[in-house]
Amino acid sequence: MRRAFATVVLVFSTTLAVVAGAAPSPGPPKATVVIYGQDPSAGPAEELRALVRTALTSEGGVTLVDAEWERSTFASPRPASWQGSLQKAQRLLAKAETDLREFDLKSAEANIAQVAQSLEPYLGLREAVAIDRERLHLAVAIGHAQRNEPEIDRLLAEYATRYPGLAPPEKKWPPDLFKRLENAAPKGKTKIEISAVPAGAAFVDGRPYGNTPVVASDVPPGRHRVEVEAPGCFPAQVVVDTNGLSPTPVALQPLPSVSLALARAKAEVPLDPALLAELRRLAGGQADYLVLVLKKKGTAVELRAIAQKVDDESPRYAGDATPAGLRLLVGQWRSYRERPPPGDGGPVPTWAFVGAGASAAAVGAGVLLRLVAVGTENELQRREGAMTQSEAYDLHDRAGAQALGGSILMGVGLIALGGIASYVVFNLQEDEP
């Protein structure tokens, strides 16, 4: 009898442990912070982002996406503007051309040197190609007028490397310089293997080569600027030195330019649906929630959160951009997120699923034990007369213990199922009007 009861208890506890271990235990949702209403890449926005992330960590009940991914996706800085430098270079080029016509070679040389200095950070960019070619044309003409042969050779080699196949205007050079340009071209060709994520249009020294991945196979050996322009991203670029020994691999990652639209968003105007759709696309599977933080006047901020997988947007919570103020806003959002759905007394707790599974398993185990008891009784009847009285008593006790254990398991399981079912039904109905 005791052995049978111990078997029943072991079966019940093992079943409960297995079911509990198999029960789902989802982790906390992931969130990413998006600052708008000011330049999200600027220092004040970075400080606000850090404060919000700290508040979410302590009060939000969420995990956070990688901070560097968040910054590069929603707060990538605008590349340095080249317009001022190029405008300055154009003005200096005009002066240098005037100086050359007046044969003021010293002034022309000085102006060309300043043009080269202004263009240096942007050599090879599409926007700088025309000005740079004009610089080289004038610089070669000035060198020819000064009879500075080493400088002419250097400039011709630079032109032939960066702009192969593009002839300079004949009006600025004597005829003999065109022949020297052909001889100045580096020998052989090199390859640049260009890839980018996301994919985009590839350029080498301003020349288009199609969409990535692509191989630029006709590039002269030397220094070149590779640029990739992808939709919705800032252009990505890098300067590489190539040679004829092996292809030069270039992998670029254009960063999203959504930070420009976020900086332009105004407090009094609802967030543009197209911008919101772009934010959700960029977040993709990285985050379950977009936590949008609008910087207003002074220390005032506004916080709201948008779910990625379901159409759910929290109310707007207004407060101060202080650690305590942000913790309060995040706590309000958490209360909203964990609220019972309308018409629902709340989500069914995990213990109810575990208990229901264990109870069902107990009922099943009880039925099985009752069937085993029936088999034991049948064996007792079949062997009647062939057993000693002691063996018959033992077999009869075993059958009784199995039947009793099965009844206990079935009873406990059914009672537990009934209780859990009553709780769930009551829980579902308690908020109904």
Report the alpha-carbon distance of residue 78 to residue 133 in Å, rounded.
Answer: 27
Check residue 35 and give its pLDDT: 93
Check residue 48 and give its pLDDT: 93
Check residue 403 and give its pLDDT: 78
Q: What is the pLDDT along the chain (433 residues), one digit of tens a residue?
A: 444 444 444 444 455 444 444 445 567 889 999 999 888 999 999 999 999 999 999 998 899 999 999 999 999 988 877 888 888 888 998 998 888 888 888 898 899 899 888 888 888 888 888 888 888 888 888 888 888 989 988 988 888 888 887 777 666 677 778 778 878 877 888 899 999 999 999 999 999 999 999 999 888 888 899 999 999 999 999 999 988 778 899 999 999 999 999 998 876 667 788 988 899 999 988 999 999 999 888 888 999 898 887 777 888 899 998 999 999 999 999 998 887 655 545 556 666 777 778 878 878 887 887 787 777 777 777 777 677 777 777 777 777 787 788 788 888 878 887 777 777 666 655 444 4
- Rg over alpha carbons for the chain, rounded to the nearest Å, is 39
Report the alpha-carbon distance of residue 228 to residue 234 in Å, rounded.
Answer: 9
Tell me the pTM.
Answer: 0.66
Check residue 431 and give its pLDDT: 44
Check residue 2 and give its pLDDT: 42
Q: Quote the tokens at residue 350.
A: 């995990």
